[in-house]
Structure formats: C-alpha cells, structure tokens
Structure 1
Amino acid sequence: MAELRSLVIVLGDQLDLDASGFDGFDATQDAAWMAEVAEESVHVWSSKPRTALFLAAMRHFAVALEASGRPLHYTRLDAPGNRGSLAAQLSGDIARLKPQRLVMTAPGDWRVLQDVKDVAQANALPLDIREDRHFFCTVREFLAHAKARKSLRMEYFYREQRKRHQILMESAQADEPVGGQWNFDADNREAFDAAGPGDVPPRAAFEPDAITRDVIALVNSRFADHPGLLDGFAWPVTRDQALQSLHAFIEKRLPLFGRYQDAMWPGDPWLYHSHLSAALNLKLLNAREVVAAAQAAYRAGRAPLPSVEGFIRQILGWREYVRGIYWTQMPAYARRNALDAHEDLPPWYWTAGTDMACLRDALTQTLTHGYANHIQRLMVTGLYALMLGVEPRQVHEWYLAVYVDAVEWVELPNTIGMSQYADGGVMGSKPYIATGKYIQRMSPHCKGCRYDPAQRSGDSACPFTTLYWDFLMRHEASLAKNPRMALQVKNVARLSDVQKQEVLERAAAIRQGKVGAASPR
C-alpha cells in the first residue's frame, strides 16, 4: 500500500464534497475517514429519528465520496471490531493506516474537537483544522465583534452581517435595509383563525431507499429502547434531496412563513416552516445558498419582504450568532445555571404522558418525527422546563437527544441561553416567560385541555400560569433589576399573601408530579 499522506476526518455533520477538509485532496496519497460509533447515540439518549438521520446521511455521503474517486475508510456501526467511540476507532485506524497527518474541517462539538486533538497528540500526528465555510461569520470574526461591545445582542450582530454581506440591502453604497426597516416582527407572528391553517403545501418527504431502510432496521434493533419512532421517516439524506426540500419551501411555503412562523396547530407539525435545519446542520445545504434563494424569491416578487426577512434572520442572525456564542464561551458555558435551577426533567418528556394538551402535542410530535418548530421548543417545552426550575444540563441533553437537527454548537446556546436563561443574559436580555394565555393566543390547544390558562391556582389552573407566577416570586429580587422584566415583576405586588400562598402550594404539587402527568389508563 502506498504511503498515506493525509487522513481526512469527515464527521457526521460535515457531509459536503466541497468542505474545506478536502482542499488540496490528492486521491493518490490521501484518503477520507468516516465512522459510525455507538458513543454518538448513547452519550445522550439519542432518539431513533436523530440517529437514523445521521447514519443514513453518512452512508449516502460515503457513496458520493467513492463516486467522486476519493479513497474512503468507512466503519459501520455493525461492523465487526467497531470500537464504539470516535477516539478509539480513529486511534485504531491510525495504527493500521499510518497517515503522516490528520486533516479536518472544524467540528461543531467541543467534545469531539477535544477527542480528535487528544488522538492526534497521542499519536504524535499534526492536525490541520480548517475553517468551516458553511457559515457567513468565522469564530474569529465573531470574537472581534464581541470584544468591540460591552454587551452582546443578536439584533446588532444581524444588522452588521446584513451590511457586510449585502443581504436585503437597498444598495452596496447605502447602509439602508430594503423596505426601510431591519425587522418585520410587527407584520409577522399571527395565529391561525378558528378554521385553522387550511390547505398547507406539504413538506418535501422522501421514501427511504435501500440504504435508509437498512439503517432504520439497524437503529430499531440496536437502539430498541431509545425514544422515538421511524415508521414515517422521510427526511432528506442526500444533497439532491436537500435541494428539493429547499426548492419546495421557497416556492410553496416561504410566502406565508413570516405571518405564521409562531403559530401552532394540534396534530399539524409542519405548517409553513422550512424543515431545512437538519439538512443545513448536516451540511447537505450551505447557508449561503439558502439565504440567496430566499432573497431571490423576494427580488422576483414570489415572496413578501416580511416573510423573507424573518426567515433570513433565523439563518444569518440567530444561527450565526449562537455558533459564535458557543465557540467563544465553551466549555464553561455548558455548566451555566444562573437561576440556580435543580429540578429533574419530568419523565413524561420522554413519553408525552402528560394531560397538558399543548405539551402532549409538542412531545408526541417530537418523539414521532424528531421535529418541533421554534415556538414549540421555546414557548412550550422550553418554557415549561424553565418555569418549573429544571436543571439546565438536563434540558440541554433532552433537546440534543430528541431533535434530528441537534448539533451541539446550535442546540446548546439556544437551550442554555435563549430557552432556559441559564447564562444570565449572554444570549437574550431577559428570560422568556409567559402564562398559559400565550399558548391560548397562538393555538387552539387550550380548548381541548382540562386546564384553564386564566387561572393561576386551584384544581383547574393551567400549570404554565401557576409556574409563571411562582417563577416571578422565586426570582423577584433579581428580575426587578432587569428593565425588560420590571413591569412583570411589579404585578407580583398585586397579589395578596393568600394568593401567593395558593400559587406556591399549587407549584409544589406540580413539582411533586401530582399535576401534569397523565393518569394511568
């Protein structure tokens, strides 16, 4: 065998033939390396849809790599001698292949980065880590942005990126946004009327081929006790399928995306959302092409500005911002717990066994499809955990486990910072808390629920509403110092001592599991 110059490590979320790790690749002296390892499904209790998506996409990418003429060393999960972890498998293969150096595109997970560095050091091999070109902003550029400001706010970062990349701007010479404003929230975020969402264009769905069917069978066998279902698995697992998903969204659902981006409807998981985050995070799509497609739809008059701006903000704004937060704040960020929350995550988060209609719907959908929209994550599952006082690490591990698009660089800041306010205000300027009335406004869930969102105490009181008032009372002193929370905190003074005690007793019953869990049948 010819001497191997470079072993190019390809992780499960780096499925792009044009990734920087392949720059300068010479098929006569370099080879790619990929491995399916059980560690990635058990270090958190990864759901079946999430594991299946990663494995199916990896196997399809392996086919594409070989078709491109690039030598590949690939270890399947069920291969004899699979060592079970990325570090162990890589170490074993280095001993066998004897490369002169390791090359990789920068990973999206701090743990994985440390593992690869340790393996390289243990084997006395140079490790060439290259910039991930799937982002508009490098980590170094984000760090420079952060150092130039006393406090971080996504809105200012987003505007800076719009100007820099000339996205939805009037002209290259002017710093004015198209339409005269940066943010179209006032035009977006409507709820559906009583008739519901109507005839929503279907999401792009893909019938599993032989490769994916093999993966589904393997996951159902190997991880039989893991949560989730694979009966309706239809996620894009190839570059071509991801492009079809992008086209379907831009042409059919983007026009109404903005208006209904925060709306929820029971039993309808897909609505007008893009469903592109998994393909983006696996690198089957590049963020630049997704943003360009949305902007082109606006320029051509096929989608209104509020919808296009709202969608682009999710990618150019939030997605880039959370990556910057992750890589400039880790590893300490994962341990943040600013609200000193220590409750356990309710066990029914893994089963959907709750009698709260909104949570039951969001959890059932999550466990079935590995998907929920951003409002279900932030203002249903996340909101409940925040106000209950769940330890942030447990909430993070649940989100990382259950959602098909969960890669730690994007999931951790969204959970620890945005959802749970465990970072004390690095990600967002206030905790996002609300009573059950918010859910009633954005969905019809409350009509079919045994709880009343208008009640904060008593047997029929909505747990969201009870926990909202309990949260304000528990954190009154610290929240009163936050200008964005001052009005909400002042409302606590309107409660009598008796009313406060009633809230505390009801909240205690919720934490003890006496309220919220579905009754055994």
Structure 2
Amino acid sequence: MVSRLVLILGDQLSEEIAALREADREADTVVMAEVMAEASYVPHHPKKIAFLFAAMRKFAAGLEADGWRVRYTRLDDPENAGSILGELLRAAEATGASEVLATEPGEFRLIAALEDSPLPVHMFPDDRFLCSHGEFEAWAEGRKELRMEWFYREMRRRTGLLMEGDQPAGGKWNFDHENRKPAPDDVEFGGPMRFTPDPVVEEVLDLVDARFGDNFGTLRPFWFATDRGQARRALSHFIRNALPKFGDFQDAMLDGNRFLYHAVVSMYLNAGLLTWREICEAAEAAWQAGEAPLNAVEGFIRQIIGWREYMRGIYFLEGPDYTKRNALGHSRSLPAFYWTADTDMRCVARTVEQTRDEAYAHHIQRLMVTGNFALLAGIDPHEVHEWYLAVYADAYEWVEAPNVIGMSQFADGGIVGSKPYVSGGNYIRKMSDYCTSCRYDVGEKSGEKACPFNYLYWAFLHRHRDRFGKNPRMAQMYRTWARMSEDKRTAALQSADAFLGRLDRGARV
C-alpha cells in the first residue's frame, strides 16, 4: 500500500479539511509542524503564535486519539528543518512516502512553496468556505464594480440565512443604518469567554516567551480558546450574552472597554476551530427564538458570509501582486508609534495599546483609527499591510490584505471600495469617548492644539483632488473645501505640513 503525507497547516485545524477527507487513515501519515519560517515571516504577535501552536498540538493529539498516524514537529525540536517544505522532505525520508496531500493554503507565498516542492503535492480546494474561487470569478465576470453588497445578497440567497422565501427577513437586506449608535454609557457584557491555560498551553507559552519575547505584543495573561470545544463555548457565550446588543454598538469605541459587545471569535473561525455555518446558524437561531434583534443578527452574519467571503474572493481573484499595489503613491514610513503607542493622539495610542495587549481590535478601530491615520498621512500601504498581518491573532493574508490594501488604504485603486475610508476627528468623537481625554482638541481645525485628523483630512483631499474630485460620493466634501475661506484652507494645509514634518523627524506627535 502506497503511503502518502497529509499536510495540515496551523489554520486548517478541522477534521473536515479536504486533505484529511482524501487520506487513508490506515496508510497515510499526517504532517504538522511548528516552523520558524511561518512564525517569523512577519513579527507575529506572541499571542497569535501561542494560540496556533497550542491549538495545533491539541488538534494533533485529537487526530492520534482518532487513529491517525501523526508526525508532529515542535519548534524546539533540534531536528526541525525550519520550514513547511523542509519538514515534508524530512517526513518523506523517514516514512518512505512519495507524495503529499494538501489543502490549498490561504497565502500565495505558501502555495508557491508547495508548487515548487520536489515531492508531488496534490492540492485540494479549501471548501471550508462558502464561495469557491471559480464561483467568485463567475460572479465577478463582466461587472464594472465588485461591490460587496451585491455579493452578500447572493450568499444570503444561496444559504437561505435570514430569508423568507426569496425575500430577505424584515424586508431589507441590510440594517446597517441601525448599527451605528455611539458608545453607550454602560456595557453590560463582561467580554469574551476567557480560558485558564492548561499544561499544554503553559508549555507553549514558555516556548513562545523564550523564542519571541522581543516581538511586539504582550503574551500573558493568555485567555484564548485553543481547541474546538472551548471555541464552541466562546461562541455560545457571545450569542447568549452579547449578540442582542452587538448590532447597536458594533461601530462604537470606549477608552475603558476593549470589547464592548463583540464576539472575538474570528481567530477561531480563521484557524478552523469553528465553521462559518455553525456561527451563522447559531446567530439566526437566536433571532428566530426572539433572543436577538434582526439588526444585530443581520450585521453579524454579513461580516461572515458577506465581508469575509468577499475578501477571500478578491484576494485570489487579484493574484499574488495584490499586496504590492499602491494606487495613491504613498511612501511615508510607518511611524514608530504603531509599535510603541507613544503618541498624544489618544485614539491611536489606545488602539495600539489594546492591539499590543490583546492581539485584537475591532473593525472600526482598525479601519477608522489606525487605518484612517495611515491613509491620511500617506503611509506606504505595504508597510501598513505587514503591520496588520503581524499584530492581530485573526490575520491571514487572504483576509487581511484586501481589508488593508483595498478597503483601508485604497491602494488597489477602488476595487474594494468606491471611495477611500477617510474622516476627520469628528467621526471618532461621535463614535467614541477617546477625544474627551486627548491632548488635542477635536473642535479645532488647524494649529498646534487641533486634532491632527482634522487638517490631515483636508490635506488628503487636496493632495488627491485629481483622483477623487469627480467621485460622486466625495462631491460634498470637495464642495465644503471649496466654500472655505482661503485663510482656512491655507491654515489646514500648513498645519498638515508641520505635523507631517514632525512625524518624519521622529518627534512625538
């Protein structure tokens, strides 16, 4: 009987993964490996590394208990080859296997490595997703604009989620207008479910502390779920205790509350510990039982079968060069405060501090605080991309790159978004309480005391007028700019120049 290797990557921790379905439990050998090449191609947050290593070890143990032959290599194994391909070659030599079964990775970098393998690699589609590459390509073909809203409606029809016959529940596809309430005075949810590290996790934490202790990010306390059972409990905790108010406050930000009513299950979903279907069906069941309102459930489901699937579709449709796109020609280096939080802009400092401590920030903090600042300041989008890929526990290139290169930085020229997501400080003031304790005054439009988002916003519009001046979604902004007095326009531009000059010199801003 021919023996084959079955490659399982750290974000493929599902017993239903395609390569396992194609394998022979009696003859084949599962290969899993903690390798430095994957742990260090960007300086990953220590919590992300620990989460994946611990979850991998537990998943491998579960496979062995289920009768699979597993060859698992730990990072500190002296024989560790240091890369996925190296571990496959080492396993082939040890077992006599002559070919590999693999599920398509979520990054072109790894796909290319497997395609260059001297061992034949049979790569199967990753069908944990709702929409295949071919289906997304068929949907995209011939469209002038690849808008997520139209794609999302197709996914709703396909799944039947929140559908009443051929019509959306409640008569509308999208309840986003109900999901933009400012930060509440009190939050009744105590945050995501936290798990005490067991001996497996503790051993991994010690390893990660020793090998990656200098990386950006706080390792302990560590509370993530690291197996499917824990991940399912974390999901149930959210559905029961937070989903009812998730919709209302999903865009809100609070200085003293890092999680509000967010689920914080994306890392479990992206690693394979949860499936999109069970998450969405649990949310839908809560609505059907009268335990959560439609606006909350629709907004939550849209993030999963809408944005998540759409982002993956864009990534694979656009190809390996997508992360190098720079449509706006931005070239400023990423400021040091993205790593240190050493800035007087309270919204940025708090978001970076939270990212450092939790390997998590919610979508508005990512898009409208750190992402918004990077776009307004003209930061090199590839550097921005690599920062987001490094610092968040749920970040894999297939989902992170379109969100950053496309949605956040407009570096793809408008494939993902019809306009750049930019705003002045007033949006942050409306959706958070950050501004109340900030050194800068969000009410001031120019000068040393003014919120930098205010004058950087107008400087961005001025700088890119040729590109965006005729964009109908930005017409009102440009009309407002045109109505300003010459003195006000000059003051805004001079304030922006002075601020960016301090930024370039490395001065505290």
In which range does the TM-score fall when normalised by the shorter chain? over 0.9
Matched, 1:189 2:171: no
Residues 1:57 and 2:55 are matched in the alignment: yes
Distance in 2 separating the partners of 1:424 and 1:515? 26
2:208 corresponds to: 219
In structure 2, distance between residues paired with 1:441 and 1:85: 47
- The match for 1:406 is 395
Q: In 2, Cα distance between the equivalents of 1:142 and 1:88?
A: 33
Number of residue equivalences: 509
Structure 1 partner of 2:315? 326
* The 10-residue stretch of structure 1 (491-500 or 129-138) with the greater mean CA deviation from structure 2: 491-500
Unaligned runs of 5+ in 2: none
Match in the other structure for 1:143: 137
Cα distance change of structure 1 residues 485 and 78 upon mapping to structure 2, 3 Å threshold: same
CA change 1:162–1:514 in 2 (3 A) is: closer
- Check the 8 A contact 2:187/2:260 in 1, yes or no: no
The farther-off stretch of 395-404 and 472-481 is 472-481
> Residue 32 of structure 1 aligns to a residue in which SS?
strand
Amino acid aligned to 1:245: A
Q: Quickly say closer, same or farther: Cα 1:500–1:515, change in 2 above 3 A.
A: farther
Task: Give the aligned partner of residue 75 of structure 2.
Answer: 77
**C-alpha spacing 1:153/1:60, structure 2 compared with 1 (3 Å):** same
Deviations 1:205-224, CA, capped at 9 Å, x for gaps? 11111111111111111112
**Deviation digits for residues 361-394 of structure 1, max 9, x if unmatched?**
1110000010000000000010000111111100
Deviation by residue 1:209-258 (Cα, 9 ceiling, x = unmatched): 11111111111111121111112211111000110011011111000000
Mapped to 1, the partners of 2:236 and 2:484 lie a distance apart of 53
1:266–1:445: 8 Å Cα contact kept in structure 2?
A: yes
Structure 2 residue aligned with 1:160: 154
Change (3 A) 1:113 1:353: same
Aligned with residue 10 of structure 2, among 9, 12, 16:
12
Alpha-carbon spacing, 1:442–1:29, altered in 2? closer, same or farther (3 Å):
same
Distance in 2 separating the partners of 1:463 and 1:424: 25
In the TM superposition, 1:93-104 aligns within 5 A as 93-104=91-102
Closer/same/farther in 2, CA of residues 492 and 516 from structure 1, 3 Å limit? farther
Deviation by residue 1:30-65 (Cα, 9 ceiling, x = unmatched): 111011111122211111111111111111111111
User: Is residue 92–residue 98 contact of structure 2 (8 Å, CA) maintained in 1?
Assistant: no
Deviations 1:173-201 (A, max 9, x none): xx2111000110121120134xx233224
Q: Specify the alignment match of 1:383 in structure 2.
A: 372
Counterpart Cα distance in 2 of 1:280 and 1:102: 25
Per the TM alignment, residue 97 of structure 1 is displaced from its structure 2 partner at its CA by: 2.7
Kept in 2: contact 1:455–1:461 (CA 8 A): yes
CA offset digits 1:323-366 (Å, max 9, x no partner): 00001111121111111110111011011111111111111000
1:419, CA displacement in angstroms? 0.5
1:37-436 pair list within 5 angstroms: 37-119=35-117, 122-123=118-119, 125=120, 127-171=121-165, 175-193=166-184, 196-436=185-425
What is the CA–CA distance in structure 2 between the aligned matches of 1:181 and 1:468, rounded to whole Å? Answer: 33
Does 455-464 or 429-438 show the bigger shift?
Answer: 455-464
Q: Is the 8 A contact 1:10 1:33 kept in 2?
A: yes
Q: Distance in 2 between matches of 1:79 and 1:62?
A: 16
State how far apart, in whole Å, the 2-side matches of 1:165 and 1:198 are.
33
Contact 1:338 1:421 in 2 (8 A): yes
TM-score w.r.t. length of structure 2: 0.97
Helix, strand or coil: the match of 1:512?
A: helix
Find the aligned partners of 1:225 and 1:264 in 2 and give their Cα distance. Answer: 29
Of stretches 495-504 and 103-112 in structure 1, the one that deviates more from structure 2 is 495-504
Q: How far did residue 98 of structure 1 move?
A: 2.9
- Which amino acid is 1:448 matched to? S
In terms of mean alpha carbon deviation, does 216-225 or 256-265 score higher?
216-225
Rounded Cα–Cα distance in structure 2 between residues aligned with 1:37 and 1:512: 41
Describe the SS at the equivalent of 1:503. Answer: helix
Task: Using the TM superposition, give the Cα deviation of residue 519 of structure 1 relative to its aligned residue in structure 2, in angstroms.
Answer: 5.4
Q: Report if the CA contact (8 A) 1:362-1:380 is conserved.
A: yes
Normalising by structure 1, report the TM-score.
0.95
Provide the rounded CA distance (Å) in 1 between the counterparts of 2:87 and 2:341. 36
Mapped to 1, the partners of 2:397 and 2:16 lie a distance apart of 23
Map of 1:482 onto structure 2 = 471
Per-residue deviation, 1:99: 1.6
The answer to which of 495-504 and 446-455 deviates more is 495-504
For residues 374-430 of structure 1, the C-alpha deviation after alignment (integer angstroms, 9 at most, x for no partner) is 000000010000111111100000000000000110000000001001111111111
Question: Contact 2:219 / 2:357 at 8 angstroms: preserved in 1?
Answer: yes
CA distance in 2, matches of 1:79, 1:224: 19
